[in-house]
Chain A
Amino acid sequence: MRLPKFEYLGPKTVQEACSLLAQHGDKAKVMAGGTDVLNVMKERKIRPEYLIGLRAISDLSYIKADADGIKIGALTTLTDLANSAVVKEKFPCLAEVPMKMATVQIRNMGTIGGNLCNAAPSADTAPILICLGAKAKIAGPKGERVVALEDFFTGPGKTVLGKGELLVEIQVPNQPAKTAGAYLKMSRVSVDLAIVGVGVVVTREGDSCKDIKITLGAVAPTPIRAKKAEAVVKGKKIDDALLEEAGKIASQEAKPIDDVRGSAFYRTEIVKVYTKRAIKQAMEQAK
């Protein structure tokens, strides 16, 4: 299918992009890698008058380490995220996520910022980032603000980004010692969208789980924390009965829908199993 007609705007700086966004409002759509936006335009689900392509903003593609953790530019491609030596070293569970997404070509084009701003409930980069306590730096007409990524999503395709605002950076804080994570994705093949995604990050103390965060993808309007399941596990010695219980509670926190990829019932059952497995895997990694 061909694209509908639009005018292309290619700002060279974040400031310029924000002012174009503020100026054109709902008539404009922002595009990073284009792998989501161009498809929905081809399907005529959206027909923006102006497409604001961010490709010319070269200084939004970076991964920097500092004393607090790492900072990832919003235009960093999924390939660059997967290949980053510093991400592999500091957050191996995050470096593994892109390899569970899409195809080589799409990972070469798609960006971390685009995956988050597309705000699909199934966004694969979201669960682990939320578990790691990542923050989103947003630029806008009134300057910059930083929000917890957990609070970034407001519904399917919807985020806290206001008029003229642009996601510019993801900040991932350093984690305590003996902390590790796992992201498990259920899909027909890894190229597909997640039917269920479960992200877990644990801090281990002996055989106990000192701290834990669980985030579920594709089972609610946004990625959601399974806080009741976290409470079941936190501070306890991990055994099979406890994992079973955590999985059950997490599946009760999920609010999935039926769609072409899976039924709500199936998703609920998978949350049960994957929560259990993800905690187990993260605990192994955190040794």
Chain B
Amino acid sequence: MKRLIHLKVNGEPYEVAIHPYRTLAEVLREELDLIGTKEACKQGDCGSCTVIMDGKTVTSCLTLAVEAEGREIRTIEGEAKNGKLSPVQQAFVDHGAIQCGYCTPGMVMSATALLEQNPKPTEHDVRMGIAGNICRCTGYTKIVEAILALAEGGKK
């Protein structure tokens, strides 16, 4: 039986009727057309589906949409404001921290949450902070550099 759930995504309220066996990643992509959030492994290992829920990163492929009822969700679509990239997005561009781009939305969400919780992370903190996001182009060095540039006061 479908249920009516209420989600707040990037500040916008949504009401959607879904089956309880749909994941948040599926609902974001297929019902709300927010396809910036990617899915790759679908088992919580790769981090490409990372979104921020109530201030903390979660893998949306292992989150039931029914359990996201009433929660504040942030996806990559909400990070740029008024056509201007977020500081994290801009740092990724400036440091060439994007190769094929598939991991980028999840990576940006993890980096954003990390910097919000720990504005001055060390390199170790950064590497631990993105340990749940796999970049199969293996371009980690530039991603770490981009995040560290913000950590050192840069444009943050």
Within 8 A of B (CB), among A34-80: 34-35, 38-39, 42, 51, 53, 55, 79
CA separation between A159 and B77, bound complex, in Å? 43
Set A7, A34, A79: member contacting B56, Cβ < 8 A: A79
Stretch among B15-23, B78-86, B89-97, B143-151 lining the A interface: B15-23
Q: Are A8 and B66 in contact (CB under 8 A)?
A: yes
CB neighbours of A99 from chain B (8 A): 128
Q: What's the Cα separation between A6 and B66 when bound, in Å?
A: 12
Bound complex: CA of A103 vs CA of B44, how far in Å?
Answer: 9
A76-122 contacts to B, CB under 8 A, are 79, 99, 102-106, 108-109
A241-276 residues at the B interface, CB under 8 angstroms: none
Does A4 touch B at the CB level, under 8 Å? yes
Q: Is A3 an interface residue (CB 8 A)?
A: yes
Taking CB atoms, residues of chain B closer than 8 Å to A38 are 23, 44, 62, 64
CB–CB B58/A105 < 8 A: yes
Q: Do the beta carbons of B64 and A105 come within 8 Å of each other?
A: no
Chain A hits for B3, CB < 8 A: 8
Give A4 to B22 CA distance when docked, in angstroms: 9
Is the beta-carbon distance between B56 and A35 smaller than 8 angstroms? Answer: no
Contact flags (1/0) for B31-63 with A, using CB distance below 8 Å? 000000000001111010010000011110011
- Cα distance, A109 to B57, chains bound together (Å): 9
On chain B, the residues within 8 Å of A79 by CB distance are 56
Chain B residues near A (Cβ < 8 Å) = 1, 3, 19-23, 26, 42-45, 47, 50, 56-59, 62-64, 66-67, 110, 113-114, 128-129, 131-133
Q: List 21 A-B contacts (CB under 8 A).
A: A1-B43, A2-B23, A2-B26, A3-B22, A3-B23, A8-B64, A8-B66, A35-B44, A35-B62, A38-B64, A39-B62, A42-B43, A53-B67, A103-B47, A103-B132, A104-B129, A105-B50, A105-B57, A105-B58, A106-B132, A191-B132
What is the interface of chain A, defined by CB distance below 8 A to chain B? 1-8, 10, 34-35, 38-39, 42, 51, 53, 55, 79, 99, 102-106, 108-109, 189-191
